[in-house]
A and B are shown apart, each in its own frame.
Chain A
């Protein structure tokens, strides 16, 4: 019964998205240009409630599926193929979105929720723009409802309930799965709201700083979630896959990186629009790009085209459906852009030597990196069409993206201390000299002391300069009066420096030890001594494992016990390697165990051991968290400012009304609070 309710809710939500789209579009036609908030066209009554009710229904549908997974309802096909009655309870729940249909339902639910939030709370934009944005949002949602209902119905019943479920891929039975996909989805969906707003503003020619202020929290929010999602995904792959790597340039990873790059550019550009009324069309274009990238990411991951062009053909209906959606969305967006972009009046101008100039430069660099990643990701698909099979990895991605990333980081160091509109290089002479000195000293020192690759060397030196540069915007300001958004920027830029330091350090200084050892033997990696105490069989709820007890000690220090496992799951049958990590402030010791390989001279069984010492590797994820925190601070700060500004305007209007009532011709002029 519950699954049927879920399906019905999904159908109703789809119907409401049609209403939202049509009512929104009609009211754009009916409302006069420049209608104020609160002016009501007969059609405008429908779009907002439709979005809100739709959010409730889509959430209901998601909870119906969650319930089916929670009670392991094996008459539902999706549950039978992806769950198992004896799986740990937490993984039963997270298994809801550990499969194609469930994750699409989650996606749609998040989309509907944010649409409802937008419709329910946002009252600042001109009503006409808002209606246009809601119509676009309804159109985007409709495509996904159609996709779910027509080709990936999560509530499909089996004719005969299965006796037992097939189970969930053990790699996905991890807390990482509980957090990673939903976080990324919120990010993708946030970008779709930003896109709807951008389209609304474009259609109604309202690309104004006021519009940018409405759009900014959505972009910031989406960006924060994308940042955290990517960070979590990277750490998950690092400890779960047991290969010791933290980024593989895997197409699925790239699909999340590309929207992030576009969103990073968009976030900076929308700030310029809000503060300075410049970069109008540029911001809209980036909005289209960010949304297109999140759609492309969904397409690449969801169509199966990444595994192979052939896998795409295995389920042509589903793949083609997403491809058509993708073309419709991106084509439509670009079409509207081409049709309307010339109607957007130019914004304010600025000099090369200005904060806008630096931001534009970095926007272009981000877009170039995006192009590099996109082409590298699609290249294997292209060659496969000609029957040549290739894979593209770090030898391409690292240097090709660094060519654009390094100038970008250099500009990022000075950009925030430049003035808006126009600045002279002479004004920031001292800061510039200091940063260049730090960079050069670090380059020389590290280059002399350690033998590293050129990229790692540059990364280490850049991170030192960037870490200092991140705090320069605070110089000469009263710390108590620095706006929260500025703290956010400082925090995020510092996070970038920290993350770069972690990446460069990991690539430059990692030490690895591979050895076959018997009980009592010691292997050395860096200044660590790793002794194998014993290997025992252990069992978990749905797996058995060989567990090694390693006692590890740094030099003469105290020893700690690490327990890496080689696990065998029995439903579905699969082996995984569970790494064991020892985290220190200056790095991580990473141990995995392999198989038993014969006996040593004294007849004792030998086990394969692989141990890494990775100095400062954790800084990669600390940096990611700092970047996310910075975004959060900026978002909260901006929302608070906007609320205060709105209150100010309201009070001024009230005062003006009071004055008018008193018969006084002019009210006191209150300055608008500064941005």
Chain B
């Protein structure tokens, strides 16, 4: 595949093709290895977020239990604030604007996607609650309160 006027031997052409393909795949691999740690969304438990908070504005996930009696509906009707607890007494304040997911209740598990703002509140852009009796967001499986749920996690219905 050098010069259009000088046809090369079939064997050489095959070699060039293989080299090109390997180069492209290795390139894709390097790209992934470089981009993934940067772009991946790290998961925090409340105690981890209190102890070692992520940079302000960086997209992360926060998972835990919605603390009882902490859910507070704002006047605009669309914004809620609540606290999330983990395995310790540490609490993180979360603010979310939007329709709460089905089965979002106090005392239940939630995963919030969003970022920490300057005032220390975690601003969520999306909330994932368990959406049926069997399904538990995978990040919450380590939590004490969800131990019992572990055994049924394998039964999630595949949405394929």
Interface residues of A (CB under 8 A from B): 98-100, 103, 169-172, 180-181, 184, 233, 237, 252, 255-256, 281-282, 301-302, 304, 307-308, 310-311, 314-315, 346-353, 357, 360, 364-365, 367-369, 371-372, 375-376, 379-380, 383, 388-393, 395-396, 399-400, 403-404, 422, 424, 514-516, 566, 572-577, 592, 594-595, 597-598, 606, 608, 610
Whole-angstrom distance between the alpha carbons of A348 and B10 in the complex?
7
Tell me, yes or no, whether B35 is within 8 Å of chain A by CB. Answer: yes
A301 near B153: Cβ-Cβ < 8 Å: no
Q: In the complex, which residues of chain A have a beta carbon less than 8 angstroms from the beta carbon of B39? A: 392-393, 395-396
Whole-angstrom distance between the alpha carbons of A368 and B138 in the complex?
29
15 contacts between A and B (CB under 8 A): A103-B160, A171-B157, A233-B160, A301-B158, A308-B138, A349-B7, A368-B24, A375-B29, A396-B35, A516-B78, A574-B102, A574-B133, A577-B102, A594-B99, A606-B77
Tell me whether chain B's interface is mostly helix, strand or loop, or mixed.
mixed
Known: A304-B154, A346-B11, A375-B36. A351 touches B4 (CB 8 A): yes
B13-21, B49-57, B86-94, B114-122: which one contacts chain A?
B13-21
B139 near A364: Cβ-Cβ < 8 Å: no
B153 near A515: Cβ-Cβ < 8 Å: no
Q: In the complex, which residues of chain A have a beta carbon less than 8 angstroms from the beta carbon of B139? A: 389
B36 near A392: Cβ-Cβ < 8 Å: yes
Tell me, yes or no, whether B27 is within 8 Å of chain A by CB. Answer: yes
Q: Kindly report which residue of chain B lies nearest to residue A575, judged by CB atoms.
A: B102
B133-160: which residues lie under 8 A (CB-CB) from chain A? 133, 138-139, 141, 150-151, 153-154, 156-160
A371 near B32: Cβ-Cβ < 8 Å: yes
Q: In the complex, which residues of chain A have a beta carbon less than 8 angstroms from the beta carbon of B100? A: 594-595
B20 near A103: Cβ-Cβ < 8 Å: no
B61 near A368: Cβ-Cβ < 8 Å: no
Count of interface residues, chain B, beta-carbon cutoff 8 Å: 54
B21 near A364: Cβ-Cβ < 8 Å: yes
Tell me, yes or no, whether B73 is within 8 Å of chain A by CB. Answer: yes
Whole-angstrom distance between the alpha carbons of A547 and B76 in the complex?
22
Interface residues of B (CB under 8 A from A): 1, 4, 7-11, 13-14, 17, 20-21, 24-25, 27-29, 31-33, 35-36, 39-43, 59, 61, 73, 76-78, 97-100, 102-103, 131-133, 138-139, 141, 150-151, 153-154, 156-160
Q: Kindly report which residue of chain B lies nearest to residue A176, judged by CB atoms.
A: B159
Expressed in whole angstroms, the minimum distance between the Cβ of B11 and any Cβ of chain A is 6
Q: In the complex, which residues of chain B have a beta carbon less than 8 angstroms from the beta carbon of A400? A: 31-32, 35
Q: In the complex, which residues of chain B have a beta carbon less than 8 angstroms from the beta carbon of A170? A: 132
Q: In the complex, which residues of chain A have a beta carbon less than 8 angstroms from the beta carbon of B141? A: 308, 310
Q: In the complex, which residues of chain B have a beta carbon less than 8 angstroms from the beta carbon of A514? A: 78, 97-99
Question: Which 3 A-B residue pairs are closest in the complex by CB-CB distance?
Answer: A516-B77, A346-B10, A314-B154
B159 near A389: Cβ-Cβ < 8 Å: no
Whole-angstrom distance between the alpha carbons of A659 and B21 in the complex?
51
Q: Which of A180, A304, A349, A592 contacts B10 (CB 8 A)?
A: A349
B73 near A597: Cβ-Cβ < 8 Å: yes
Whole-angstrom distance between the alpha carbons of A347 and B97 in the complex?
61
B4 near A302: Cβ-Cβ < 8 Å: no
Q: Kindly report which residue of chain A lies nearest to residue B13, judged by CB atoms.
A: A349
Q: Which of B11, B32, B159 has the most CB of A within 10 A?
A: B159
Q: In the complex, which residues of chain A have a beta carbon less than 8 angstroms from the beta carbon of B11? A: 346
Known: A390-B43, A574-B133. A379 touches B73 (CB 8 A): no
Q: Kindly report which residue of chain A lies nearest to residue B131, judged by CB atoms.
A: A574
